[in-house]
Structure 1
């Protein structure tokens, strides 16, 4: 049975999963649900499927491979990390991955809060001011390592890549003062199968967010 994933027809929380699957060379059906226009933002495409997929906690994104049926972004990423040799291999690596996962969740929450807030324009200056402060910590943590676990690539690298990529669209030149993060971004985006995916018509370049977002949506 073919692997199937499901998410909204945006990059959002699904994009790191798509990048990981591309890197792992997995063929899969990428089900994309559309949301209707304002003011109703009709979600019937998803709601018609939601309770018919056999998911314990029906939500987007989801991943289905035979009897394996998972929702929640990091549950999916961790499973795929173990399955495709993209998980931590030592306790030291696990600690680094756990730390970056927690930081990524915080960063993504702040990003979503900004992008979906009706007060986006007033919040944007503070976000732009504070973004380099957080990235300095991330840059220091990465140090001279090629990947966030250390020498080995793991699922968390695809998460951080996507966060850096989306933030760089909002704040041009954001990575210029952090050469190691800029190199990391290029390293992940330059992985052979990831690069092929990013340049293909399978890859969603835009939108980043749903249509109700103040920035990055349709």
Structure 2
């Protein structure tokens, strides 16, 4: 049975799913709805397939899942990316939820049409993000040996944070990893992981 992932033609909330599927060696149909013009209008044929009328939507093995974190977590468990015990699994959840919180204030900044205003907002948010999130993530990775957020193996928390760090550079020109050596080590480890590396090299070049 084919694996089908439905999302907009952007990285966004589906990109960690794509990265994890690629890590797991899963061949999947990457079905992309138009993102522009804004606001995006989800094609009826996709909307009607989704339980809640939203995407991302994953169809596989006669099943379907909606919601980005539910899908990402499912495949993280399937491919042993949730740590080695229940506590490490909970740590993964904590860090991913924190990354989601980190992303939220960046979304309206990304949509700001005034270039001068957007640049100012980006710099303000960068300062806030460093203190509230990046300083702490750097210390977590450093205290954990310098390569992983959780335990001593790759987890979906690493993948999720690496995706967001990558998007920060692509969307806003901000390279946090240049200022945080432990995060840089974690980031490079994720991006050079077999499966993920190949996906990053071949994925479509999209605006977001």
How much does 1:14 deviate? 0.9
Distance in structure 2 (CA, Å) of the matches to 1:6 and 1:79: 16
Among 50, 62, 80, the residue aligned to 2:47: 50
Distance in structure 2 (CA, Å) of the matches to 1:136 and 1:160: 14
Distance in structure 2 (CA, Å) of the matches to 1:34 and 1:10: 9
- Asked if the contact 1:3/1:29 (under 8 Å) is kept, the reply is yes
The change in CA–CA distance for 1:42 and 1:17 in structure 2 (over 3 A counts) is closer
- Asked if the contact 2:168/2:175 (under 8 Å) is kept, the reply is no
Distance in structure 2 (CA, Å) of the matches to 1:112 and 1:159: 16
Distance in structure 2 (CA, Å) of the matches to 1:122 and 1:172: 13
- Asked if the contact 1:22/1:193 (under 8 Å) is kept, the reply is yes
The change in CA–CA distance for 1:185 and 1:124 in structure 2 (over 3 A counts) is same
Distance in structure 2 (CA, Å) of the matches to 1:147 and 1:7: 29
Deviation by residue 1:66-101 (Cα, 9 ceiling, x = unmatched): 322001110001111122222233133123212202
**Structure that is richer in helix per residue:** 2
| Partner residue, 1:141 | 140
Moved over 4 A (4+): none
- Asked if the contact 1:145/1:151 (under 8 Å) is kept, the reply is no
- Scaled by the length of structure 1, the TM-score of the pair is 0.84
| Partner residue, 1:68 | 63
How much does 1:173 deviate? 4.0
Provide the secondary structure at the position in 1 that maps to 2:176: coil
Distance in structure 2 (CA, Å) of the matches to 1:140 and 1:42: 39
How much does 1:106 deviate? 0.3
Distance in structure 2 (CA, Å) of the matches to 1:173 and 1:15: 19
How much does 1:42 deviate? 5.5
- Asked if the contact 2:165/2:175 (under 8 Å) is kept, the reply is no
What do you get for the CA RMSD once the two structures are aligned? 1.9
The change in CA–CA distance for 1:36 and 1:24 in structure 2 (over 3 A counts) is same
| Partner residue, 1:108 | 103
Structure 2 residue runs without a partner (length 5+): none
Distance in structure 2 (CA, Å) of the matches to 1:37 and 1:102: 29
Distance in structure 1 (CA, Å) of the matches to 2:78 and 2:175: 36
Number of residues paired by the alignment? 201
Distance in structure 2 (CA, Å) of the matches to 1:163 and 1:127: 15
How much does 1:37 deviate? 2.9
- Asked if the contact 1:11/1:205 (under 8 Å) is kept, the reply is no
Distance in structure 2 (CA, Å) of the matches to 1:10 and 1:197: 14
- Scaled by the length of structure 2, the TM-score of the pair is 0.87
| Partner residue, 1:98 | 93
- Asked if the contact 2:6/2:56 (under 8 Å) is kept, the reply is yes
| Partner residue, 1:185 | 187
How much does 1:206 deviate? 2.5
